[in-house]
Amino acid sequence: MDMRVSRDPVDRRPLLVNPPTDYNGVTEAVAAPIEWKTPMGWWIFFLVSAVFAAMYAGSTAYLIWEGTGIWGLNVPVAWGWAIVNFVFWVGIGHAGTLISAVLFLFRQKWRTSINRFSEAMTIFAVVCALSFPTIHVGRIWLLYWVFPVPNQMGAWPQFRSPLLWDVFAVSIYGTVSVLFWYTGLVPDLATMRDRVKSKVAKFAYGIFALGWTGSTRHWRHYETAYMLLAGLATPLVLSVHSVVSFDFAVSQLPGWHTTIFPPYFVAGAIFSGFGMVLTLMLVSRVIFKLEHIVTMHHLDNMAKVVLLTGMIVGYAYGMEFFIAWYGGNEYEMFAFINRAFGPYWWAYWSMVSCNVLIPQVLWFKTIRHNVAALFVLSIFVNIGMWFERYVIVITLSRDFLPSSWDMFYPTVWDWAALLGSFGLFFTLFSLFVRFLPMVAMAEVKSVMPESDPHHEPDETEAAKQPATATAGGAS
């Protein structure tokens, strides 16, 4: 492969689609996985995921039948893996909004190759995330009481509870994510409608394409709507995980009751979200032959985001310790010393290693450009961020009165729920890659040089270098 970078003929930036292709080339490349005959590999992946998802469903059914006691919960550790998983999945879901909304507003053109993918991931992660607080309550059949449903008893939710804020924050986040994702999908769904042969598929894509014709008027409305949604979604990037962090920060537990939690959670969420996008992207771009659309340049950018947010998270870990000491609160001090050197030291040091130490290798460009290394690293990030939430939740095990201290031991049902939620996630994901364009074709096209034709020939110095601009076989 020619490692030289193709550059934009106008502004000399490296091309985002590299090796370059034309509009049709993008469409063909993205639509191909949908139009292939279903490969055996997909079936295997889908079925394995579905089995795990079914395990989740089964374990949840047993949970509802028997009670939350099937998990390893107790007093003091009244929240266990369900909440760990919830925060973990919500965190994963953050990359989607960030890439879609924030990077969009900041005109980061490189986002176009990965935004569809990460938005889809966001939605599936939010689905997984929402499932956990739903099933972890003791009496799931009364869960609707958390919604402000008018009733003859005049019983209202209790608006001071962070859990209630959570209900609103996460459901709004889920709704906006779906809207955003779907709006972006409309032009591509129309493309698929026009391409597919099967009547059923044509009909289905047609329904969801909402009569998109690609007229200028459509494009104008579409882009306005997209911009507005991006504006709406942007505060959510900060709010959702801030609110999730309130679940902990608003309580008075040592190790939970800290003001650093909202920014720290947001940074951690972006960190974990990008970690998960990397994990999925690195594999998908090879399988679905999208290396020219999701290029090394994209991977490099994502790796830099991971490095940055990983260091923010590392800073937060350090600052928590510092404040625990500086604040002079002996319970707080104990909680942190206990995290690092108490019975759950292994979880703490797993977290620090995976989230802070290991990502430091990303300073090296060779690592950032090594797909295998990035994949391994992204797995570490995923594990590390799960442990981060575990470390936070397990702080419950030792609080104010030593008499109530106790340990938490997960049961087989805890494992079933954790692994099962991954099954659910990958089931949805495999359906996504099979039936929907996993790259935003229309958006990618909009950042190709062809979308920005210029009358003036390129007069820059670089253009005069022979055989550089078109290297890579764009002819």
Partner 1 sequence: MTRETISAAGPHNPGRRNFLSAVGATVASLQTAACIRKPYEKILPYAERPEDLVPGEARHYATVWNVGGAVQGLLVRSTDGRPTKVDGNPNHPMTGGSTIWAQASVLSLYDPERSKEPVREGEGVSPDEAVGFLKKLPDEIGDGSGLAVVVPELPSPTADRLWEDIRAKYPKAELYRFDGAGTDHARAGAAMVGIEGAAWTTDGTPTVIAAFDADPIGTEGDTTAFTKAFAAGRDPNRKPAEANRLYVVEPHVSITGSNADHRMAVKGSEVGDFLAALAHHLKKGGLNVPTLDAPKDKLDSKFVKALAKDLLSRKRGSTIVMVGERQPAHVHALGFVLNEALGNFGKTLRFTKQGPTEVGALSDLVRRMNDGSVKQLVVMGSNPVYEAPADLNFGELFQKVPLTIHLGLYRDETGRLATWHIPQSHYLESWGDLRAREGTTAIQQPLVAPLYPSLSPIEFMARLTGAESKGYDLVRATHQGAISGGFDKRWQRWLHDGVVDVGQAPSFVPSVKTDGLAAAYKFRAERAQGLELAFVRDNAVLDGRFGNSPWLQELPDPITKIAWDNAAVVSPNTAEKIGVPNNLEQSSVRDTVMVDVSVGGETVRLPVWVQPGTAEDVVVLSLGYGRKHGGKFAKSGFDVNSLRTAESPYIRSGAKVTPTRKGYAVACMQPEASMHDRPIVRDATRGDFTDEPNFVEKFEVMDEDHVASLLWDEPEYTAEHQWALTIDLNSCVGCGSCTVACQAENNIPWVGKEDALKGREMHWIRIDRYFEPKHSDQVEVRYQPMACVQCETAPCENVCPVGATVHGPEGLNNMAYNRCIGTRYCSNNCPYKVRRFNFFHYTVRNDADYGMGIAMQRNPDVTVRYRGVMEKCTYCVQRINKARIHAKVNGDGIIPDGTVKTACQEACPADCITFGNIRDPDSKVSHTREDPRNYAVLSELNLRPRTTYLAKLTNPNPDLAEG
Q: How far is the CB of 474 from partner 1 (least distance, A)?
A: 57
Nearest residue to 281 via CA among 271, 293, 269: 293
Residues that bind partner 1 (CB under 8 A): 66-69, 72-79, 136-140, 142-143, 145-146, 155-158, 160-164, 167, 247, 250-253, 330-331, 334, 342-343, 396, 398-407, 409
Q: Between 146 and 356, whose beta carbon lies closer to partner 1?
A: 146
Q: Between 170 and 438, whose beta carbon lies closer to partner 1?
A: 170
Q: Between 251 and 259, whose beta carbon lies closer to partner 1?
A: 251
Q: Are 276 and 382 in contact (CB under 8 A)?
A: yes
3-state secondary structure of 7: strand
Q: How far is the CB of 79 from partner 1 (least distance, A)?
A: 6
Region for 148 from its dihedrals, namely left if φ exceeds 0, alpha if ψ lies in -120 to 50, beta otherwise: beta
Task: Supply 223's token pair.
Answer: 């882009």
Question: What angle (nearest 5°) sits at the alpha carbon of residue 227, between those of residues 226 and 233?
Answer: 85
Q: How far is the CB of 210 from partner 1 (least distance, A)?
A: 37
Q: Between 22 and 66, whose beta carbon lies closer to partner 1?
A: 66
From the number of C-beta atoms within 10 Å of its C-beta (0-12, 13-18, 19+), residue 132 rates as buried
Q: Between 389 and 445, whose beta carbon lies closer to partner 1?
A: 389
**What DSSP state is assigned to residue 101?**
I
Q: Between 248 and 425, whose beta carbon lies closer to partner 1?
A: 248
Task: Supply 119's token pair.
Answer: 């938005």
**What DSSP state is assigned to residue 14?**
B
Residues forming beta bridges with residue 14, ordered by sequence position: 7
Contacts of 342 (CB under 8 A, 6+ apart): 398
Q: How far is the CB of 350 from partner 1 (least distance, A)?
A: 16
Q: Are 163 and 247 in contact (CB under 8 A)?
A: yes
Q: Between 145 and 432, whose beta carbon lies closer to partner 1?
A: 145
Q: How far is the CB of 62 from partner 1 (least distance, A)?
A: 12
Q: How far is the CB of 64 from partner 1 (least distance, A)?
A: 10
Q: How far is the CB of 345 from partner 1 (least distance, A)?
A: 9
- How many beta carbons lie within 10 A of that of residue 275, not counting itself? 30
